[in-house]
Amino acid sequence: MFLEYHVIGELMINRIIKFLYQGYEKILFQEVSKGPLPAHIAIIMDGNRRFASKIGKNSYFGHSKGARVTENLIRWSWEIGIKQLTIYAFSAQNFKRSPKEINDIFDLMSRKFDRMSEDEEIHENRVKVKIIGDKNRIPPFLQRSIDRLETNTHNYDQFNLNIAIAYGGRQDIVQATQEIATKIKNKDLSVDQVTEMTISEHLYPADDAAVPNVDLIIRTGGDERISNFLPWQTNGNECAAYFCAPYWPEFKKIDFLRSIRVYQARKIEVRKNNALRTAQLLASIGNKRSFNAKSNQTDLSISDCHKNY
The active-site residue out of 14, 46, 119, 235 is 46
Residues 6+ apart with CB under 8 A from 6: none
| Rounded Cα distance, 297 and 184, in Å | 61
148 is annotated as contributing to ligand binding: no
SS3 state at 251: coil
219 is annotated as contributing to ligand binding: yes
- Please say whether the beta carbons of 166 and 137 come within 8 A: yes
> Would residue 147 show up in a list of annotated catalytic residues for this protein?
no
47 is annotated as contributing to ligand binding: yes
50 is annotated as contributing to ligand binding: yes
What is the four-CA torsion angle of 260, 265, 266, 267, rounded to 10 degrees? 90
* Secondary structure element (H or E) that encloses residue 47, with its range: none
**Alpha-helix runs per DSSP H in 196-252:** 196-202, 231-235
> Would residue 94 show up in a list of annotated catalytic residues for this protein?
yes
225 is annotated as contributing to ligand binding: yes
63 is annotated as contributing to ligand binding: yes
226 is annotated as contributing to ligand binding: yes
**Alpha-helix runs per DSSP H in 119-239:** 120-124, 140-153, 169-185, 196-202, 231-235
The active-site residue out of 94, 152, 228, 237 is 94
Residue 39, CA distances (Å) to 78, 82, 99, 163, 196 in order: 12, 6, 37, 16, 20
97 is annotated as contributing to ligand binding: yes
227 is annotated as contributing to ligand binding: yes
Task: Mark the binding-site residues for Mg(2+), compressed into ranges.
Answer: 46, 238
Task: Mark the binding-site residues for substrate, compressed into ranges.
Answer: 47-51, 63, 95, 97, 219, 225-227
Task: Mark the binding-site residues, compressed into ranges.
Answer: 46-51, 63, 95, 97, 219, 225-227, 238
- Give catalytic residues, as residue numbers: 46, 94
